[in-house]
Structure 1
Amino acid sequence: VEEVLEQADYLYGSGETEKLYQLLVQHKNSDDAELLWRLARASRDLAQLSSTSAEEKRQLAYEALEYAKKALEKNESNFAAHKWYAICLSDVGDFEGIKTKIGNAIVIKEHFQRAVELNPKDATTIHLIGIWCYTFAEMPWYQRKIAATLFATPPTSTFQEVLCEIFLSLVCTADPNFYSKNLLFLGKTYLKLNNKKMALLWLSKAKEYPAHTEEDKQVR
């Protein structure tokens, strides 16, 4: 298993998404949580590629969720299993409609928070909590009405909370440019707060960020 993980991490670092998926999917029946969450991530990354068809994207999203769920079952104390379960659950919500997506929101945030408890220095998870907060801070009125029917106390957030979470993720890495989407959401949040000067600063950084992944290209 160690050899497979080492090879998988090399392929991930090299951006070899399809090769990584082909390597890991051979071990989909594994009981190793480290391998399974990597397979969930690889499945999701493959789904994100522009060359992947709409039907394949859907299939991969559900596969990724199953792998992440299995990783959690094998090791509840694995922070990455919690993180990728939350990410994959959110992705599946995109295919099942707004009611399901909002209904899953509390569970998603709980898993992100559990991941941070297990690994307080994981900047990406803290960033994702920031994105969660942003989603609820800008939620339109009709979605708020749906949330009100699903929860006794619907989830809410503010753009100030978004800034707190995203800046906390920067503190964790000591690298203000660690993730293109972090830069993008800082800019968008400052726009929502009518601070155009700071918005321009961070949006410019996002645009200038070197595009290593499909997600980086989308940000630009």
Structure 2
Amino acid sequence: MYSRFFTHGRILFRQLSAKRSYIAPAVGTTVAGVFWGSAPKKDEKQVVLDVIKDADIFYNQYMIDNAYGLLRKFRKSDDPEMLWRLARVICEQGKGCANKEEKLRLFKEALEYASKALSNSEAGGCFGANKWYAIILNYVSELEGTKAQIKASLDVKRHLERAVELNPMDATSWMILGMWHYSFANLGYASRLAAKAIYGSPPSSTYEEALRNFERAELIQPQFSSSNNFYLGQCYEQLGRKEEAVREYQKAFNAPCVSVDDNEYHQKAFEKLKKLGFNPATLTN
């Protein structure tokens, strides 16, 4: 079903090189000023640049609350780079929320900031705004049901394609686009009928097209995400390329487990390898 795209899209956003740490790293004077009140006065442009730099440090170490504490002071900003980063951390807060209603509220709030980032972007477009608008729209649509997901699907694809056009070296965007193509290549009969009812001619794709996107992501940044290796395995398996599928499942299985998503794909790869005839006792992490 199309919902698999959104479920598998939970994947995405972890840094293999960064461990979850709640000890603040060395950051710029903007963050120091936030906590200690000692930052020197700067012009507005420099303040924005410093906040963006420090927020990225927090996000890359998955210190989401710290990043939010920094960015929330700029809720009324019109700067698209600031706004999509705020959308990103609110989205991550939503992902960690167990209550469905609160999760949806946070995702919708994040989507508003991503939408504002898009509307405030210059004519050339903003990579991060397009990427995160697509990502967050995924989560909102998933919680609103199958019809909402299908209605949003082409908008999601359009913004992902714009994101990779603006920044063709972002591996994560290529991976998410690959998931979009995989989900429609693998669309079940009932979901296909629902899509046909909405669009007349429903969105479609192939495993070959999905594979091209996953391979592009892997070429840009090898083994950056266990989910990308897992989906490479899925595509190879669907195309009858068993040896290559096994290789990618093994990479996904052996990848460091930093986040909940890593653990999820570690387990999925384990189950795939068992199904393909591997003895669980021989699989070591």
TM-score category by the smaller chain?
over 0.9
Q: In structure 2, how many angstroms separate the alpha carbons of the residues matched to 1:144 and 1:203?
A: 28
Q: In structure 1, how many angstroms separate the alpha carbons of the residues matched to 2:72 and 2:257?
A: 27
SS at match of 2:74: coil
* TM superposition shift of 1:52: 4.3
Q: Which moved more, 1:28-37 or 1:116-125?
A: 116-125
Post-superposition Cα deviations, 1:28-87, rounded to whole Å, max 9, x if no partner, equal 2111111111111111112222x6433332211111111100100110510110010011
2:75 is aligned with 1:10: no
Paired letter, 2:94: A
What is the RMSD of the two structures over their aligned residues, measured on CA atoms? 1.5
Identity %, equivalent residues: 39
> Residues 123-202 of structure 1: matches in 2 within 5 Å?
123-171=171-219, 173=220, 175-202=221-248
Contact 1:46-1:52 at 8 Å conserved across structures: no
State the aligned residue count: 217
Gaps of 5+ in 2: 1-47, 267-285
2:137 is aligned with 1:89: yes
CA 26–215 in structure 1, closer or farther in 2 if over 3 Å, else same? farther
Post-superposition Cα deviations, 1:156-212, rounded to whole Å, max 9, x if no partner, equal 0111111111111222x2x32012211111112222223332222111111211123
Q: In structure 2, how many angstroms separate the alpha carbons of the residues matched to 1:79 and 1:109?
A: 14
Q: In structure 2, how many angstroms separate the alpha carbons of the residues matched to 1:121 and 1:219?
A: 24
* TM superposition shift of 1:90: 1.0
* TM superposition shift of 1:218: 2.4
Larger RCO: 1 or 2 (CA < 8 Å, sep 6+): 2
Paired letter, 2:93: L
Q: In structure 1, how many angstroms separate the alpha carbons of the residues matched to 2:249 and 2:92?
A: 24
SS at match of 1:168: helix
Q: In structure 1, how many angstroms separate the alpha carbons of the residues matched to 2:259 and 2:121?
A: 29
Q: In structure 2, how many angstroms separate the alpha carbons of the residues matched to 1:217 and 1:179?
A: 12
CA 86–47 in structure 1, closer or farther in 2 if over 3 Å, else same? same
Q: Which moved more, 1:196-205 or 1:157-166?
A: 196-205
Q: In structure 2, how many angstroms separate the alpha carbons of the residues matched to 1:40 and 1:137?
A: 30
Contact 1:181-1:219 at 8 Å conserved across structures: yes
2:140 is aligned with 1:101: no
Q: In structure 2, how many angstroms separate the alpha carbons of the residues matched to 1:81 and 1:217?
A: 28
Q: In structure 2, how many angstroms separate the alpha carbons of the residues matched to 1:217 and 1:19?
A: 24
1:27 pairs, out of 61, 71, 74, with 74
Q: In structure 2, how many angstroms separate the alpha carbons of the residues matched to 1:35 and 1:207?
A: 36
1:56 paired residue number: 102
2:87 paired residue number: 40
* TM superposition shift of 1:139: 0.7
Q: Which moved more, 1:13-22 or 1:105-114?
A: 13-22
Q: In structure 2, how many angstroms separate the alpha carbons of the residues matched to 1:20 and 1:214?
A: 19
Q: In structure 1, how many angstroms separate the alpha carbons of the residues matched to 2:194 and 2:67?
A: 39
TM-score between the two structures when normalised by the length of structure 1: 0.93
Q: Which moved more, 1:61-70 or 1:210-219?
A: 210-219
Q: In structure 2, how many angstroms separate the alpha carbons of the residues matched to 1:104 and 1:163?
A: 23
SS at match of 1:126: helix
Paired letter, 1:88: I
Contact 1:48-1:214 at 8 Å conserved across structures: no
Q: Which moved more, 1:136-145 or 1:205-214?
A: 205-214
Post-superposition Cα deviations, 1:89-129, rounded to whole Å, max 9, x if no partner, equal 11111111101101111111011111112112222111111
Contact 1:116-1:126 at 8 Å conserved across structures: yes
TM-score between the two structures when normalised by the length of structure 2: 0.72
Paired letter, 1:167: E
